[in-house]
Structure 1
Amino acid sequence: MAVELCFAGRTCSGCGAEIGHGRYLSCMGGFWHPECFRCQACNDPISDYEFSMSRNRPFHKSCYKEQHHPRCDVCNNFIPTNAAGLIEYRAHPFWMQKYCPAHEYDRTPRCCSCERMEPRDTKYLVLDDGRKLCLECLDSAIVDTNECQPLYIEIGEFYEGLNMKVQQQVPLLLVERQALNEAMEGEKQGHHHLPETRGLCLSEEQTVRTILKRPRIGGHRIMDMITEPYRLVRRCEVTAILILYGLPRLLTGSILAHEMMHAWLRLSGYPNLRPEVEEGICQVLAHMWLESEIIAGSSSSSGPSSSSSSGSSEPGSSSSTSNSSKKGKRSQFERKLGDFFKHQIESDASPAYGDGFRTGNQAVSKYGLRRTLDHIRLTGTFPC
């Protein structure tokens, strides 16, 4: 960029006016008033002798780097170049959170719900069993057994609406990760999606520690977690449904819808099914429930629903001491979160949960849910 003195006859490429007498810039094949040659990012005049160009537009070199060299969403530094001089970064397939490749190996925590990495300037909540939860997911999190009962009732009504009422009363318990793992070890049947198992449908008699009372939050940690042992007695083919505590309502509900389908299959006399059939149809029901909630949440303006607090307080019963299901008009983030949970089901790469869901969903779309279930009962397979 050359700076020269002009005496007359030059037209500024920026403002279009005659430059007249005085200093001007000669660059990019034209002439400019010094105050008219501006950065396309910050709009301040470019006074440096060196500047950057993109699509025939000028930038300060520092502004060009900000615009065209991505910053890491975790550490906020410019993402480094690799040995070949290329910018190499990782991105979450749904949230498109960009981050340095090193963060995949430096133990940067992820939210146990939405899977986004924890930024350096934001602290996630540490749950009692070591999981971390981002503050957006915390907003609709369900953290104790009583608080989950209204949601359990709603999903029971969802099944009744499909003419698939679960005939026996099955206890629902919210538990910590250790209690879920111990229960899984004591279960003789079932196909578990390790290491991401977040719910179980139990058939064996066990004693499980359930979360009795909503803990309080101190700083960025869960505190005063109160649990109690709950003895599961085998009165039918299903003894309980267990779900990890601390997950958002939509994720808790999709896990519950999945596990309730396991219960419905066992209580309805279906034979032992191959994992891709049983887990596949359970994922179909979880996906159907999520779709119904996302559609309802986008138009609903009602507040939290309530249920009666009289009668039995047994987990899984129709009465509850909690009157909040955290249901109402969805925030923009919660609607996006619901889409993410659907995306997780749809893009699962495992043979049982992923391929099983896609085959089952195709069958339900083609033949309907009832005909698909009848075919599974008769053949143990999905209809083609």
Structure 2
Amino acid sequence: MSAVGGAGAEFVDNRLAKRNAVLLALAQALGGASASIVIATASLVGNSLLGADKSLATLPVSFMVLGTAIGTLPAGAIMRRYGRRAGFMGASAFGIAAALLSAYAVLDGNFPLFILGCAGTGFVGAFVQQFRFAAADTASETFKPKAISWVLAGGVLAGIVGPQTVIATKDLFAPILFAGTYLALAGLSLAALVVLFFLRVPPPARAASGAAIGRPLSVIVRQPVFIVAAACGVCSYALMSLVMTATPLAMIGCGLTQTDAALAIQWHVLAMFGPSFFTGSLIARYGAARIVIVGLALLAGCAVVALMGVEVMHFWVALVLLGLGWNFGFIGATAMLSRAYRPQERNTVQAFNDFLVFGFVAFASFSSGHLLHNFGWGTVNLLVFPVSAVCLALIGWLALYDRREGAP
């Protein structure tokens, strides 16, 4: 099915959308592995390079997230001007350079340079985050949630590729840990670039009238559905980042091993993306808001388990619940967001939404190391409860608003 209408009309072709979703899922598996690699290793690298003040050990992970936040608006602008394919391929090339810089920094023992390399990897992550939106570009309204979930399902493979890459390469340059891991990350970025070469996305639409330009962003963001979707996306991702960033250091601090920590991240990432095979179908059947509510409940469940003990199984079960909660909360919020914009507004709104998400995620990641170092693992997890409660209240407010306005 394909249709091209007047100015601002949406191009729809589900066959092309399915082809692109498969390619983007594979690219997600390769590009998404970079985040799990940095999360599993960067705080441990930082811990080994720092002196007495270990509260800064999570700084490389935080700068990775900050790099993603900084990259969201340029990513949207680049793809509006040059198209999805060119933007994604250029980002992959940049990712190769960032990974090589990180490898050199580890070998040289240069902590500031390592932070810069991680920030570059995060910048590329802003483009990876756009994969889910690119998959929906040519999809029909009924296929969009499935297209998004197909792409995020590629993270299942990333959940295996990333941590297993860490385990296989961490000792390549022994006694210097993880230098080989970042060389391997450069190879994954190269493979993603090759996959993205075969992507086919219609070129950016050219506005033919004022209507085709779309509404001002200031109007769009005042819509209740945007406010709630953005808030739920922000909170789901920020809570996940807060707990996940602290986990490797917390595990090592409790006497567990680096392999235990890497496997915890592996199970976490698998839980993040595994449900994506059916999350889209659940959203289509039950609605985005209900799925977000389930996600928030799972995030709270993670905190409950984490507060019950510090054995390896407590960490693993908590991180599985954390990943599941992120999946339902974030994919549900992404689907909810699609109600807030018109086709010609998508790039601007998606980029601004990701800017909000990763801005707050960066703040959560920065806070994680300090909270863990100064207040302990329990405090990190207790913060999940009030934030989840605020999101539930916002969803209730949106339901009342929709009922009053007769919205679907």
| Length-normalised TM-score, structure 1 | 0.23
Is the radius of gyration larger for structure 1 or structure 2?
A: 1
| Length-normalised TM-score, structure 2 | 0.22
Larger proportion of strand:
1
- Higher RCO (C-alpha 8 Å, min separation 6): 2
